[in-house]
Chains A and B, each alone.
Chain A
Amino acid sequence: MADQKVPLLEVKNIVKRFGGLVAVNRVSMEVYPGEVVALLGDNGAGKSTLIKVVSGVYPPDEGEIYFEGKEVKINNPMDAIQLGIETIYQDLALAENLNVYSNIFLGREKLKKWLGLVSVLDHDYMHDESKKVLDRLGIEIPSLKNKIKMLSGGQRQSVAISRSIYWKAKLLIMDEPTAALGVAEQRKVLDLVRTLKDQGVGVIIISHQLYDVFQVADRMIVLRRGEKVGERITKDTNSDEIVGLMVGAELVEDSKGEEV
């Protein structure tokens, strides 16, 4: 929680431009171990761009990133993964044409020696390890040889989360994890987030569903047009205030003094 001194992740004055458009403008934020931070904002506020900077999809144009107190450069997704930053994207989470265990091991396939010479994929190992992590999290999927395409939205999200857990994520970033899920599945995903939090994992969550956010987040950061316009502790705020910050109602901006 926030009483710990060294943040897990700290970003300072991050700027990301796309041509003339400034998608993220000098945004700073931090996440502590075991803390769930929600990133909120209307469409185009820069939430997704900001997390893609952290996860290595878009290297930032300006700004610094500190992970566990040390300054780091994250130039590509592998850099982020090696630090322990796992990301579950709403749109590009999994390769739908591959099966469950191939996705859990995608980009980090387990190899074995074949005839002592050639390194080949160890399908059995990957299958069994995936099975273990899914069982541990109480996730039921009929066959891990099924392609992702054949799974429900909730099952897909569960696979993506298990992948992060299997690879011992220190920081998990989730972009709209509950969008397009049924009610029971949403609850399941939120339970998983709480489980991770209890294990000391830092979580950044982007969601339009304020109800979900208020259930799991410790702290909320609101972006508008690429800039950070507010930061609130969940228990000290309410959805009216947050919505006000998101859409930029003058009233709210006047009443609180945390604008950047």
Chain B
Amino acid sequence: MGAKGTSSADKSSPTTNSSFSIKELLLRGGSLVGLIGLSLVFAVLSPHFFTLSNWLNVFRQVSVVIILASAQTMVIISAGIDLSVGSLLALGGSLAAVAICYWGWSLLAGALLGVLVAGLVGLATGTIVAKGKIPDFIATLGMLGAVRGIALLITGGLPVPSHFTATELTGYLPAGLIWLGSGDIGGFPVSMMIAVGVVILTWFILNRTTFGRSLYAVGGNREAARASGINVDRVKALVYAVSGLYCGLGGLVLVGRMNSANALMAEGMELQTIAAVVIGGTNLFGGKGSVFGTLIGALLMGVLANGLNLLNVQPFWQRVINGLLIIAVVVFDQWRRRVLR
């Protein structure tokens, strides 16, 4: 949606004489140009960067962020923000692992339980936002803490499975779950395929369903949406429910990758998802954005982390660079919007 609209605007407005310039490239390409540029820099600096195995590694590392950031994209397009995604992931993943390891549930039943409970908690958050008329930021900030606490209560603060609590009968994560996070199909990580599938699903929801249209409408002009007969409260409640389901799925993938569930996993991931969404060009105030942008944004952050690791940059410096990158991207985006206007 977003990209299409702006590109048609460019065609009708007079542009500079030079048919190809760096400025034009930056204006049109946005974060994709950033991703390619950054990749080229790392490719020059490190011989290990531009290898298939390294790229798959990047994907494996960002797949969970991509899943959560896809959910975040939908929420932000509807002019909300979901700070509870990391906690919901921990809840869904921990609950699934506990059900499978300690309660003897099957993989499928445990996985469904984790995803559905995360979805229901998301629905509850959304209902609080919609019916309680409190800001999304506050409701999800509260949930960030509360849901993390529930995850800790469920696991007793211990990793799952743990040698303290596991019995001979139970106590091990099934191979199927580990395959979700660490497996391969034809050399490509399963987690990467799940992430790409989630991105495509999200694109479909946003662009091909009434619900998706409602998200843009509510985010762009809440009152116009309401006056057009859209049930704004329902849309708000639902988008957080969908976000919860995504988080549950992300939880399964992360548990599979770490071969263990932990109530404190994905702490702070909500900020990574917001950064990915914003870097991807989605308007933080709603109404405009695309999930493919978010995919690029998540990859950009993944490539940066990976490249800095390959170059042996100190982790402390990595945090500094990461933070500054987010600011730089938004400054760039503001400039881009001013010029394109």
Which positions in A face B, CB cutoff 8 Å? Answer: 55, 57, 76-78, 81, 87, 89, 91-99, 102, 106-109, 111, 114, 119-121, 142-143, 145-147, 150
A95 touches B224 (CB 8 A): yes
A18 to B212, CA, bound (A): 33
A98 touches B209 (CB 8 A): no
B209 touches A121 (CB 8 A): yes
- Among A57, A77, A81, A91, max chain B CB count under 10 A is at A77
B229 touches A92 (CB 8 A): no
A91 to B227, CA, bound (A): 11
Choose from A76, A92, A108, A145 the contact partner of B221 (Cβ within 8 Å).
A92
Choose from A87, A89, A97, A121 the contact partner of B220 (Cβ within 8 Å).
A97
Q: Is B321 an interface residue (CB 8 A)?
A: no
B residues less than 8 Å from A109 (CB atoms): 210, 213
A residues less than 8 Å from B310 (CB atoms): none
Looking at B4-12, B152-160, B257-265, the stretch in contact with chain A turns out to be B4-12
A218 to B224, CA, bound (A): 29
B residues less than 8 Å from A98 (CB atoms): 213, 216-217, 220
A78: nearest chain-B partner, CB-CB: B229
B207 touches A121 (CB 8 A): yes
Q: Is B312 an interface residue (CB 8 A)?
A: no
A111: nearest chain-B partner, CB-CB: B210
A55: nearest chain-B partner, CB-CB: B227
B225 touches A107 (CB 8 A): yes
A120 touches B208 (CB 8 A): yes
A149 to B213, CA, bound (A): 17
- Among A78, A98, A142, max chain B CB count under 10 A is at A98
Q: Is B319 an interface residue (CB 8 A)?
A: no
A77 to B217, CA, bound (A): 15
A100 to chain B, nearest CB (A): 11
Q: Is B228 an interface residue (CB 8 A)?
A: yes
Query: What string of 1s and 0s marks CB contacts (under 8 Å) between B209-247 and chain A?
Result: 110111011011101111111110000000000000000
B226: nearest chain-A partner, CB-CB: A77
Q: Is B148 an interface residue (CB 8 A)?
A: no
Choose from B9, B204, B210, B217 the contact partner of A95 (Cβ within 8 Å).
B217
A76 to B228, CA, bound (A): 10
A residues less than 8 Å from B226 (CB atoms): 57, 77
Which 6 pairs of residues, A with B, have the shortest CB-CB distance? A97-B220, A107-B228, A92-B223, A97-B287, A107-B229, A78-B229
A106 touches B217 (CB 8 A): yes
B207 touches A97 (CB 8 A): no
B4 touches A145 (CB 8 A): yes
A160: nearest chain-B partner, CB-CB: B224
B residues less than 8 Å from A77 (CB atoms): 226-229
A91 touches B223 (CB 8 A): yes
Given contacts A97-B288, A109-B210, 14 further A-B contacts (CB under 8 A): A77-B228, A89-B227, A92-B221, A93-B224, A95-B220, A95-B287, A96-B287, A106-B213, A106-B224, A107-B229, A109-B213, A120-B204, A121-B208, A146-B8
B residues less than 8 Å from A99 (CB atoms): 5
A102 to B217, CA, bound (A): 9
Given contacts A94-B221, A97-B221, contact A106 B5 (CB under 8 A): no
